[in-house]
Structure 1
Amino acid sequence: MAHTLELFFDEAADAAVRELWRRLDEVGVPSVAARGHQRYRPHVTMAVAGTIPPATREALRSDLAALSIPDLWLYTLGTFPGEDSVLLLGAIVDTELLAVHTAAHDTLAGRVRDPSAYYFPGAWVPHCTLAHGLAPSQLSAGFAALQPTEPIRASVTGVGVTDTRTGEVDVLLRP
C-alpha cells in the first residue's frame, strides 16, 4: 500500500514508544525503526489505501477539524498471528476513538484506490507497531524485554497521510 492515514503523538508518548523500540533493539529484536523503514515516527494507523488523492485529503482536513480527537491509551502489549508476526502496543478502544475512525472512513469511502479491509470499521485494531516479521524466538524475546510495559497516554498532536514509499507526511490536522 502507498498511503496511510495516521495519528501522531505528543513528545512524551513519542519518547516512550522510542524507548520500547530501543529496548527491543538492545536484545536483538529488530524494531520497526531498526529495520530501516521510512516511518520512524510512532503512530496509530487509521486507514491504508493504494492512494488517498488530494481532493480526499482536503475533505479529511475539513471533516477531522470538526471532531474532538481523544487521547489514546496505549495499554496492551500484544501480537497479530500469521507469517508476519507483529509485536504491538494496542490502544484502548472507546466510543470517542471509534467515532473519529468511523468519520474518517465515511470521508474515505469511495474516494480512495485499493483500501485495506484490515482498517475498516469493525475490523480495525488500533495499535502502535513495535516490531514485525519476527521469528517465534524473537517474539518471545520481545515480550520478555518489554515486561513490565507501562501504559502510555498519547495525546494526538497531528493527523497526516504518509506516503509509505518516501516517508513524506502530508499533515492534515494539528489538534
Structure 2
Amino acid sequence: MAVTLDFFFDDASDRTIRDLWQRLADIGARPVPGSTHPAPHVRFAAAAEIAPRVRQDLRAELRALSLPSFWLTTLGTFATSAPVLMLGAVVDAELLAVHSTVHDVLAGRVKQPSAYYLPGSWVPHCPLAEGVEREALAAGFAELHPVRAIHARVVGVGVVDGRTGHTEDLVRLG
C-alpha cells in the first residue's frame, strides 16, 4: 500500500519496542525497517491514496476523539507469504469505536483501501519483524517470549507514505 494511517506511542513505549527490534536484529531476524516504518505504531488503515480533503476530515475527527491507549500483550505471528512477528493489542470497545470512526471518514473516499484494516478484518498489532523466514520467525519468538505487557499511550497519528517514509502528522499530543 502506498499510504497508511498509523497511531504512534509515547517515548517510553517507543523505546521498549525499539529495544525488542534490536534484540531481533541481534539474532538475525529482520526487524521492522526504519525507512518504511518511522516509529513503533499500530496501523488503522492502508490505501493507495488518502486525498488532502480526507486527511483534513480525519484530522478534525481525530481531534474530537479521546485517543485510546494500547495494551500490547500478545506475542504472535501472521503466517502469510511475508510472515510477521507482532505484538497484539487488547481489543476493547474504545479501540473499536476509534477504528470504526476512522473508517466512517474513509469509507468510499480513498483509493484501493486494504481489506486487512477494515472493520471486522482488522487485527490491531504493533509489527516487530516483517518478511521473516520460518527459522528466524521461530528464533525471534523464542528470543522475545515471554513478552512483558506494554501500556502504550498514543501521542500522535499520522499518514505515512510507504514510498518515502515521510509522515504527515494529523494529531500530535506531545
TM-score (norm 2): 0.97
Which of 145, 149, 152 lines up with 1:151 in the alignment?
149
Residue of structure 2 in register with 1:57 after alignment: 55
Q: SS of 1:148's equivalent?
A: coil
Structure 2 CA distance, aligned partners of 1:135 and 1:28? 10
Runs (4+) of structure 1 moved beyond 4 Å?
none
Counterpart contact for 1:24–1:145, Cα < 8 Å:
yes
Match of 1:155, SS state, is: strand
Q: How many residues align?
A: 173
Deviation at 1:163, TM superposition (A): 0.5
8 Å CA contact retained: 2:72, 2:89? yes
In the other structure, the counterpart of 2:104 is 106
1:38 Cα deviation (Å)?
A: 2.2
Tell me the equivalent position of 1:7.
7
Partner of 2:23: 23
Q: For residues 78 and 30 of structure 2, what CA distance do their matches in structure 1 show? A: 16
Within 1, Cα distance between the matches of 2:165 and 2:131?
Answer: 20
What SS does the corresponding residue of 2:142 show, helix, strand or coil? helix
**Matched residues, percent identical?**
54
* Gap runs ≥5 in structure 2: none
CA distance, structure 2, for counterparts of residue 101 and residue 43 of structure 1: 14
Q: How well do the aligned residues superpose, as a CA RMSD in angstroms?
A: 1.0
Q: Can you list the C-alpha shifts for 1:83-112, whole angstroms capped at 9, x where unaligned?
A: 111100011100000000000000000110
In the aligned structure 2, how far is the partner of 1:164 from the partner of 1:48? 10
* TM alignment of 1:8-157, pairs within 5 A: 8-33=8-33, 37-157=35-155
Q: Which runs of 5+ in 1 are unaligned?
A: none
Structure 1: how far apart are the matches of 2:102 and 2:36?
Answer: 24
Q: Distance in 2 between matches of 1:61 and 1:24?
A: 34
Query: How far apart, CA to CA, are the structure 1 residues paired with 2:147 and 2:91?
Result: 18
Aligned partners of 1:73 and 1:151 also within 8 Å? yes
- State the AA in 2 paired with 1:141: A
